[in-house]
Amino acid sequence: MRRIIAIVLAVFLIGGVAAAVVAGREDQDSSTATKTVRGVIGSEKAEFFADPDVVKALAAKGYTVETETSGSWAMEGLDLKGYDFAFPSSQAPAGELASKYHVRQPLPRPFYSPLVVVAHRSAAEVLAGNGLATLAGKGGDKGNGTLDMKAYLKAAEGDRTWQQLKGADKHGELSGTLFISSTDPTSSNSGALYLAAASYVADGGRVADGAAAVDRTAPLMRKLISVQGSQQTSTDAAFRDFVSGVGNPLVLVYESQVAALLAGGQGADDLVVLYPDTTANSDHTVVPLTAEGRALGELLGTDKELRGLAVRHGFRPQGAAAEFTAATDAHTTYLNQTLTGVRQVPVPASKVLHEMARRARD
Amino acid sequence: MNLSVGRRSAGRWGSPRASGAERGGGWAQTTHRAAAAIALAALTAGCTSAVEGPDPAEKPAAGTLRILASSELVDMKPVLDQVHKDTGITVRPTYIGTLDAVDLLAKGRAKDAYDAVWLSSNDYLRLDPAAAKQVVSQTPVMSSPLAIGVKDATVRKLGWKPEDVTWADIEKAVRDGGLTYGMTDPSRSNSGFSTLVSVASGLSDAQSALTDADVKEATPRLTDFFKGQKLTSGSSGWLAEAYDRRGDVDALLNYESVLKSRKDLTVIRPRDGVVTADYPLSSLASTSQQVREDVRRLTEALRAPGTQRLITDRTLRRPVVPSVPPAAGLDTTRRRELPFPGSRSVADGLLDAYENKLRRPSRTVYVLDTSGSMGEDGRLGRLKKALTALTGDFREREEVTLMPFGSAVKSVRTHVVRPEDPRSGLDAIRRDTRALSAEGDTAIYTSLQKAYEHLGADDDTFTSIVLMTDGENTEGASPAEFDGFYGRLSADERRIPVFPILFGDSDRGELEHIAELTGGRLFDAQKGSLDGAFKEIRGYQ
């Protein structure tokens, strides 16, 4: 018992971001037919597991799921004894966890979401006018587009300011160094994936594989992070700030956050979603620690109702592109449903990415 | 009523801090360091004061959330009343300054005593890993940018178009046009801290997050800028009162919501950027799932469109959900968000520079009752302890005069904390403090008159008088005579406030009158500690 308390506490101390949720507690009390499955999850999935419809769908399949949140990269530091599964938001930490706990491959990867940059229209248009982005639609009238990562990194390397870009002077808020806000890469997955994608581009299309590769891109990675000053520690908070109209005009978030906002019927005002032409996916990967954990992980990917609910929360189910497309048809203004023109890059091994993040924050 | 205020900390900004004496005689090593660093590092050790632990009445209770909160959130009462009706959740705030809150969290003193933290911003908190790991789920609830509120007539005189004004324009108006303003103390108040970061970012040529080098390079411009600061305060409330009383200060720097609530100011968000408070509500990591669920419900209720409308209409802060427009009169054009420093060393370095180099120095007379009655109940000992502790908090360039009195002023000893040798001035203050002895009657008003004569008119410093007395006036000038004396002072001298401290058997009415007459503020060391009162007054000096 004592150990469990320690674990739970550690989860909160280390990376907990969204309020923790005990899903389906009532079912647990009232039904003897359900199995209680406990897991540590990335914060961006907390709302999914808290959704009463998800709780109901899981209960119908005989599961009560209790979750605690943790930063995906912090899970490696936890003692996961007593848990049935871990559910980080990226393959790399999942792989590390799998080898640490001798988990049989393949790991269930029920859904994924690409990293995107949310921008206000003014900023997106200035980027487009200066060859840093392309906007979709006739005359760029749509709420999505593509960010040219090579051009962006070149601008970052040269300390390009908004003032140096044509058309920025029409918008008072566009001044100072041009940069994308990310979360802290040492603790949060999206910040780390930002470095994964940027280093891939900066190193001529190579995935960093060791110290030499980290060295080659370290100055630029450091620049990308240090210009930002204080960073949010969770993607959730970064996105909320953007939606609130507070903060930098360019913010790195998960596509699932945007899609969930749109699915919830919230107004998007002058939002433009820029898909980096080279980006990293957040592959939500289940690391089963028990047979029940594996069964749940499989269920999330195979059960049609649960897949539908995942889509409602903005995630793209693996191997079921049509379901995401159908569900988001009303929001094609903002979403690039087929990810046309977007290349997904592999993420460096956990150890390498950690080192890259550490050097960038130094 | 469901919004109750923590008893010992009600209506205060910074928490009364613990005595420096309790940290074991390390003052000599720390005195020359930044006032801010001292405030953070030294003054909380062995903390015994208000924010450390909950009252017995503030034990955890289902449906009640004990929240460490920025003091300006006192205006959220009607909103929280509504939320209580909707959700049954009661909020019990304990008001605290950002730096104090971060310190409390970092030292692990907030857990068990509080359930959640609700500051104007978590930017500073995030810079401290030990504090950051104590909180989870930071969700912004509303926002207000830092702004400058300028008298309409001054705006016309300067020929400003409010939407075009930059920080450089404000600096130029200070330098060339003699623009004057008031702001709160960055070491004690959230709004002051945001002001400092905004001004420093705006006036440095830094295009991205401030670095130590940027701060250094901008120092000459910042020094010029802070020459325009005529009012300092530990709280936004007193700042506004002092501003009204003086009448000749042109502007106030504070959050837009505070400035907009006045009708006499043109509120300008400089076009080159500001720092915005986003009031994130966060659970403490140490809380139970039930508490976190309550915090989540509270957050959700606060972010509901109906509540957001109420917030913006009542408090003039901006809503954070896109479906609710800001209250009428809040300009919706966008402003650049100035990046907040990315490291604690830059943030603390900036505070250090402000306190010890950039701001005008202060001159203070401590009028200290050392009459015979101070010999009772260990009062003199407490005074000595509190004063000695205070020496850890004096800033470089500060002039401190000790004026102990009994039947008359006993001595007038002035010391300056010289940047090249801060220790000798502080040592001298401690020496004089040790030498205090209790004897004689109580000549409050005669001694106050002496203090005014000592300070004289001085426009280059922040001048003020602290009056500590444990009894009623029994000797020398009468209250009426002092009123007459005060009335005959020059306009400049009348701007020197007296901050009386209620202690021992002193008469509240008498001291309240002195505070009111001189534009000061009464501090209570009968309920709180003498240490705490002295420390809190620092924000006003």
Question: Which CATH number does the domain housing residue B300 bear?
Answer: 3.40.190.10
Q: What is the CATH number of the domain that holds A11?
A: 3.40.190.10
Q: Which residue of B has its CA nearest to A47?
A: B296
Q: Are residues A24 and A53 in the same domain?
A: yes
| Cβ atoms within 10 Å, residue B53 | 15
3-class secondary structure per residue, B356-399: HHHCCCEEEEEEEECCHHHHHHHHHHHHHHHHHHHCCCCCCCCE
B256 interface with A at CB cutoff 8 Å: no
Contact between chains at B126 and A230 (C-beta distance less than 8 A): yes
Q: Is the minimum CB–CB distance between B53 and chain A shorter than 8 Å?
A: no
Best residue in A22, A244, A334, A362 for a mutation probing chain B (most B CBs within 10 Å): A244
> Model confidence over A2-17: pLDDT tens digits?
444 444 434 443 333 3
Contact B338/A at CB under 8 A: yes
Token couple for B297: 């419900």
Q: Which residues of A touch B117 (CB under 8 A)?
A: none
Q: Tell me the chain B residues in contact with residue A236 when contact means C-beta distances shorter than 8 Å.
A: 139
Final residue in a domain of this structure, among B299, B331, B354: B354
A333: exposed, middle or buried (C-beta count within 10 Å: 0-12, 13-18, 19+)?
Answer: middle
With CB atoms and an 8 Å threshold, state whether B285 touches A241. Answer: no
A168 and A120, same structural domain? yes
- A122 contacts chain B (CB < 8 A): yes
Q: Identify the residue among A7, A11, A12 best suited for mutation to test binding to B, counting B beta carbons within 10 A and taking the highest.
A: A12
Runs of H (alpha helix) within B410-456: 422-434, 444-455
What's the rounded mean pLDDT across residues A99-112? 94
Q: What is the pLDDT of residue B409?
A: 97
> Same domain for B370 and B310?
no
pLDDT (mean) for A142-165: 96
Say yes or no for a CB contact (<8 Å) between A268 and B289. Answer: no
Chain A nearest C-alpha distance from B8 (Å): 29
Tell me, yes or no, whether A211 and A88 share the same domain.
no
User: Are β-strands A63-69 and A85-87 bridged in parallel, bridged antiparallel, or unpaired?
Assistant: unpaired
If asked whether residues A210 and A237 sit together in one domain, one would say yes
Listed residue (A120, A126, A158, A94) closest to A289, CA to CA: A94
- B526 and B389, same structural domain? yes
The answer to whether residues A10 and A117 belong to one domain is no
Using the Cβ of B194 and the Cβ atoms of chain A, whether some distance falls under 8 Å is answered with no
Backbone angles phi, psi at B387, to 5 degrees: -65, -40
Q: Is some CB atom of chain A closer than 8 A to the CB atom of B490?
A: no
Q: B429 with B449, same domain?
A: yes
Most A-contacting residue of B139, B197, B276 (CB-CB within 10 A), to test interface: B139
Comparing CB atoms, the residue among B136, B137, B342 nearest residue A230 is B342
| In a shared domain, residues B183 and B266 | yes
Domain membership of residue B62 (yes or no) is yes
Q: Are residues A165 and A25 in the same domain?
A: no
For residues A232-254, average pLDDT: 85
Domain assignment present for residue B322? The answer is no
| Domain span including residue B99 | 7-16+51-142+279-315
Same domain, A275 and A302: no
Describe the crossing of helices B305-315 and B77-87 by its angle, rounded to 10 degrees: 160
Q: Give domain status of residue B2, yes or no.
A: no
Same domain? For B11 and B116 the reply is yes
Quote the CA–CA distance of B132 and B139 in Å, as a whole number.
Answer: 14
**In A, residues 77-116, which contact B (CB 8 Å cutoff)?**
none
One domain for residues A90 and A160: no
pLDDT per position in chain B (541 positions), as tens? 333 333 233 222 333 333 333 333 333 333 333 333 333 333 333 332 333 334 434 567 778 999 999 888 999 999 999 999 999 999 999 988 888 899 999 999 998 899 999 999 998 898 888 998 888 878 889 999 999 999 999 999 999 999 999 999 999 999 998 899 999 999 888 889 999 999 998 888 788 888 988 988 899 999 999 999 999 998 888 899 999 999 999 999 999 999 999 989 999 999 888 899 999 999 898 888 788 889 989 998 999 999 999 999 999 999 988 789 999 999 888 888 888 898 888 999 999 999 999 999 999 999 999 999 999 989 999 999 999 999 999 999 999 999 999 999 999 999 999 999 999 999 999 999 999 999 999 999 999 999 999 999 888 899 999 999 999 999 999 999 999 999 999 999 999 999 999 999 999 999 999 999 999 999 999 888 899 899 999 999 9
**A228 to B139: CB separation less than 8 angstroms, yes or no:** no
Closest CB to B137 among A18, A161, A179: A18
Quick check: is B461 in a domain?
yes
d(C-alpha A355, C-alpha A361), whole Å: 10
Give me the amino acid identity at B334.
R
> Which candidate, A357, A338, A293, A341, places its Cα nearest to that of A35?
A293
Q: Which residues of A touch B204 (CB under 8 A)?
A: none
Least CB–CB distance from B322: residue in A20, A228, A243: A243
* Same structural domain, A202 and A101: no
Count CB-CB contacts under 10 A for residue B509: 9
Number of domains in chain B: 3
Return the ∠ at Cα A27 (arms to A24 and A33), rounded to 5°.
125
Per-residue confidence (pLDDT) for residue B47, from 0 to 100: 31
Interchain proximity B321–A268, CB inside 8 Å: no
Q: State whether A227 and B208 contact (CB < 8 Å).
A: yes
> What's the domain count of chain A?
2
Distance CA A13, CA B132 (A): 9
Residues B74, B66 contacting (CB under 8 angstroms): no
Tell me, yes or no, whether B116 and B136 share the same domain. Answer: yes
A160 → chain B, closest CA residue: B207
> Parallel, antiparallel, or unpaired for β A144-147 and B276-277?
unpaired
Return d(Cα B346, Cα A347) in angstroms, integer.
Answer: 33
Q: Residue B116: closest CA among chain A residues belongs to which residue? A: A19
Distance from CA of A104 to the nearest CA of B (A): 32
What is the radius of gyration, based on Cα positions, of chain B?
23
- Partner-chain residue, chosen from B132, B322, B335, that has the shortest CB–CB distance to A269: B322
Site from B105, B163, B207, B348 to mutate, A interface, most A CB atoms within 10 angstroms = B207
Q: What is the CATH number of the domain that holds B496?
A: 3.40.50.410
Under an 8 A CB cutoff, do A228 and B289 touch? no
Closest by CA position to A289, among listed A107, A144, A166: A107
Structure token digits, residue B103: 């310190």
Decide: residue B429, CB within 10 A, 0-12 exposed, 13-18 middle, 19+ buried: buried
Task: State whether A245 and B133 contact (CB < 8 Å).
Answer: no
- CB contact under 8 Å between A248 and B337, yes or no, is yes
Q: Which chain A positions have a beta carbon within 8 Å of B143's beta carbon? A: 244-246
Look at residue B38 and tell me if it is in a domain: no
**B389 and B305 both lie in a single domain:** no
Q: Are residues B373 and B520 in the same domain?
A: yes
pTM for the predicted model, two decimal places:
0.81
Quick one: B434 and B469 in the same domain?
A: yes
Confidence of residue A267 (pLDDT cuts 50, 70, 90): low
| Interface size, chain A vs chain B, as Cβ–Cβ contacts under 8 Å | 137
CA distance A266 to chain B (A): 7
Contact between A318 and A109 (Cβ < 8 Å)? yes
Q: What does the alpha-carbon distance between residue A22 and residue A68 come to, in Å, rounded to a whole number?
A: 8
Whether residues A128 and A90 share a domain: the answer is: no
Taking the Cβ of residue A229 and every Cβ of chain B, the question of whether any pair is shorter than 8 Å is answered with yes
Q: To probe the interface with A, which of B117, B336, B340 has the most A CB atoms within 10 Å?
A: B336
Does the beta carbon of B213 lie under 8 angstroms from any beta carbon of chain A? no
Residue B200 lies in a domain: yes
* Closest alpha carbon within chain A to B164: A172
A249 and A185 together in one domain = yes
A347–chain B nearest CA distance, Å: 26
Kindly state whether residues B367 and B288 are assigned to the same domain: no
Whether residues B138 and A234 touch (CB distance < 8 A) is answered with yes
The tokens describing B120, both together, are: 């104007």
Shortest distance between the Cα of B207 and any Cα of chain A, in A, equals: 4
Same domain, B239 and B310: no
Residue that finishes a domain, picked among B354, B383, B410? B354
Contacting residues of A for B133, CB less than 8 Å apart? 13-14
Give the per-residue pLDDT at B452: 98
**Cβ neighbours of A18 in B, within 8 Å:** 136-137
State residue B41's pLDDT score.
32
Question: A147 and A218: one domain?
Answer: yes
Indicate whether B29 belongs to any domain: no
Asked if residues B371 and B438 have their Cβ atoms less than 8 Å apart, the reply is yes
Whether residues B232 and B267 fall in one domain: yes
Residue of A nearest to B334 (CA): A173
Residues of chain B found within 8 Å of residue A231, distances taken between Cβ atoms: 126, 342
- Nearest-Cα distance to chain B for A293, in Å, is 22
Interchain proximity B322–A228, CB inside 8 Å: no
Q: Which residue segment(s) compose the domain that A193 sits in?
A: 113-281+335-361
- Yes or no, beta carbons of B278 and A241 under 8 Å apart: yes
Which phi-psi region, left, alpha or beta, contains residue B19 (left: φ > 0; alpha: ψ -120 to 50)? beta
A18 touches chain B (CB under 8 A): yes
Cβ atoms within 10 Å, residue A76: 17
**Candidates B140, B334, B338; nearest CB to A172:** B334
B26: in domain: no
Q: What is the pLDDT of residues A285-298, one digit of tens each?
A: 999 999 999 999 99
Contact A230 B138 (CB under 8 A): no
